[in-house]
Amino acid sequence: MNLAEMVLSAWDALRANKLRSVLTMLGIWIGVASIIAIFAIGQGGQSAVVSVIESQRLQRTIQILPREWIEPGLPQPGQVLSISDADLALARSFSGVASVGYTLYGQGPVSAVGHTVNASIQAGPADLDELARFMVVQGRMFTATDVVAHRPVALVSQSLAKKLFGAASPVGRTVQVGGHPVHVIGETVSTQLGILSTLLGADEIYMPATTCRDFFPWWSITEMDVEVAPGVDKADLSRRLVTALNVRAGNPDAFVDSSGLWTGIEHMVDTVTRILTWIIGAVAGIALLVGGVGVMNIMLVSVAERTQEIGIRASIGARPRDILAQFLVEAVVITSLGGVAGIGTGIGVAAAVRAITGLPVGVGWPVVIGSFAFSAWIGLICGLYPAMKAARMNPIDALRYE
Amino acid sequence: MQLSSVFKHYSTGAGRLTVLRDVSLTIAAGEFVSVIGPSGSGKSTLMHILGCLDVPSEGTYRFQDLNVGTLDASALARIRNREIGFVFQNFYLLPRMSALRNVELPMVYRGVPRAERRRRAEALLERVGLADRIHHLPNELSGGQRQRVAIARALANDPAVILADEPTGALDTQTGREIMALFRALNEQGVTVVVITHDPDVARTARRMIRLVDGRIVSDGRVEES
Ligand SMILES: Nc1ncnc2c1ncn2[C@@H]1O[C@H](COP(=O)(O)OP(=O)(O)OP(=O)(O)O)[C@@H](O)[C@H]1O
Ligand SMILES: [Mg+2]
């Protein structure tokens, strides 16, 4: 009997017991669907985090902050809370420094068409998107020229845009920031910490550092972004720079390089996502195992129920291996169908997650093919024992079985 | 087909049960034999051994010069597939398959190509008078029609031997007669036919009658033409 025929007759046998077949499939179905969805989401989250860590610009940037911003303590003599223009000038004078920018951060009212939202305002150089870890989904990032020219332009986060303009695009609209009209040139989503911040959906507005200083001259500069020239040892330069700034402030703990800190957090998030992926993956694996045991159980029932059929087939010339193949193919067809349904569901879930969170969630071919092969393999393994039981039956006993 | 001193024992809860005692028997190619005897005398057991579905506990059985006791399950299956056609009292058709597919099945196990299989199954069903019922399921057929399907299936691989266990048991006299006429026609074409029955009228259709009582052959002789 050839394979196509065996698959067809297995299909007939499964159709004869539709509900039971579907219920049997369910374990494999759910297991495969969750594995697919979880790996897609896990990988999507990871690649979002990793792409930030690996961004070229961040690799070459030293982010210096007053230590007080990271580890707040009691007011002390010599305490430094902000970065001054003199600090920036000092950094610019170092050899090996390609450029020095700064970022500002504060809270302020942002309003448009009658809505006012208290948003967090971040301002910085033209590569603020990388420093502050967001990406432009619509419109454009502001340029170095915008920064130099003090242009009143800004980008708003998706969440803020929704609150101000509803479903309409914010790009091309005007908002009031601290009472000043600002032209919205782009819409952003955060790439920071993967899925978490996306779900939290912070209300952010980003603009050139120069413009922001014009609006809020009383705000202090909280971060200095030093771009390291190619070929210069970043860690060494960072150490020398922080020491020089500390000496100038007369406080050995005044400043700190936070880029390592960021990377640390992101590594941690990366590790946590990875561990979570594996834990949930293991749970899904157990679901598959339970599904497989279910398939085995039903195949045993089916073999017992069809004892007489086995006897009839044997009497007209089915060899033990024909009987074995028949039940094996049936088990593999069940689990493969479950696998296909699971792959479909998993892809659906992944697509839904992408639509909701905007994470780069995708299901790769290797995962699809792997899951399919795996579910077929479960059928083979779990069908083997029942099929062997069927094949070993004595024809006459099977035939006489009532 | 040759049985020499065949015994068949079963171990039951009440101890050992001997169903066939010292049965020696030779059936030549082309014979038409009936086996008759009271219920429980071991007729079906004998047929299962003749049909390579079961093996003797003692003694030897040679089928076409092969010692059946030395063959493995696959070799026995091959003999059943190609050389033997069974017709059972309760038909033993596969309930989920149409008449046509039931008849095709022995050819499926033999590896006959699909188109040829289909053509031959249709021809066989036509020959047993069921040309208009080929797509019916067994439970959509009458007893006599089911028995005809079973006969068509038994003939699928052109067997040397047809073994029929009470083929008319579930049928009325008229239908039973038609079925026996079919066997007779087959025998005239050279097929060896062994029919098991407890009905003397049916048994007389054959050319040779073997009487079995309590697992022993008590008579074996030609049937006079009436
Ligand atoms: N698997 C078995 N285990 C135990 N005893 C069996 C088994 N198969 C058959 N027997 C016994 O063997 C005896 C003969 O059975 P068999 O079926 O050959 O009789 P039979 O002549 O065909 O009877 P009937 O005309 O009623 O069909 C019976 O007493 C039966 O109980
Ligand atoms: Mg019987």
**Mutation site for A-interface testing, chosen from B44, B108, B162 by largest number of A Cβ within 10 Å:** B108
Round to whole Å and give the CA distance between A87 and A62: 14
Q: Are residues A270 and A396 both part of a single domain?
A: yes
Judged by a CB distance cut-off of 8 A, whether residue B73 touches chain A is yes
Asked if residue A52 has pLDDT above 70, the reply is: no
- Which residue has better confidence, A43 or A373? A373
**Amino acid (1-letter code) at residue B64:** Q
CA of A63 to the centre of ligand 1 (A): 93
> Which chain A residues contact residue B51 at CB under 8 A?
315
3-state secondary structure of A121: strand
Nearest ligand to the CA of A397 is 1
Q: Are residues A207 and A289 both part of a single domain?
A: no
Reported ipTM exceeds the 0.85 cut: yes
A18 domain residue, yes or no: yes
A236 domain residue, yes or no: no
Judged by CB atoms closer than 8 Å, whether chains meet at A1 and B80 is answered as no
Mean pLDDT of A60-88: 79
| Residue of chain B whose alpha carbon sits nearest to that of A320 | B74
pLDDT in tens, B90-145: 889 999 899 999 999 999 999 999 999 999 999 999 988 899 999 999 999 998 89
Mean pLDDT of A387-399: 93
Domain boundary, last residue among A220, A251, A276: A220
**Mutation site for B-interface testing, chosen from A7, A315, A393, A402 by largest number of B Cβ within 10 Å:** A315
**H helices within A54-157, ranges in order?**
56-59, 67-70, 85-92, 128-131, 144-148
A199 domain residue, yes or no: yes
Worst-scoring range by mean pLDDT, A222-226, A298-302, B83-87? A222-226
CA of B197 to the centre of ligand 2 (A): 8
Q: Are residues A170 and A110 both part of a single domain?
A: yes
Domain boundary, last residue among A192, A220, A248: A220
Domain span including residue A353: 3-52+265-400
Select from B108, B143, B149, B106 the least CA-distant residue to B127.
B149
Q: Are residues A277 and A362 both part of a single domain?
A: yes
The backbone torsions φ and ψ at residue A116, rounded to the nearest 5 degrees and listed phi first, read: -125, 130
Round to whole Å and give the CA distance between A58 and A46: 17
> What confidence category does residue A101 fall into, taking pLDDT thresholds of 50, 70 and 90?
confident
Round to whole Å and give the CA distance between A125 and A102: 7
Judged by a CB distance cut-off of 8 A, whether residue A305 touches chain B is no
Domain boundary, last residue among A220, A237, A253: A220
Residues contacting B34, CB < 8 A, separation 6+: B194, B195, B196, B197, B202, B203, B204, B205, B206, B208, B209, B210, B223
Task: Check residue B32 and give its pLDDT.
Answer: 94
**Amino acid (1-letter code) at residue A137:** V
> Which chain B residues contact residue A399 at CB under 8 A?
53, 92
A332 domain residue, yes or no: yes
A355 domain residue, yes or no: yes
A245 domain residue, yes or no: no
Structural domains of chain A, count: 2
Round to whole Å and give the CA distance between B99 and A21: 25
Structural domains of chain B, count: 1
Atom of ligand 1 nearest to the CA of A400: 1
Per-residue pLDDT of chain B (226 residues; tens, 9 = 90+): 899 989 999 988 888 899 999 999 999 999 999 999 999 999 999 999 999 999 999 999 999 989 998 999 999 999 999 999 999 888 899 998 999 999 999 999 999 999 999 999 999 999 888 999 999 999 999 988 999 999 999 999 999 999 999 888 777 888 888 889 989 999 999 999 999 998 888 888 899 999 999 999 999 988 876 5
CATH of the domain at B146: 3.40.50.300
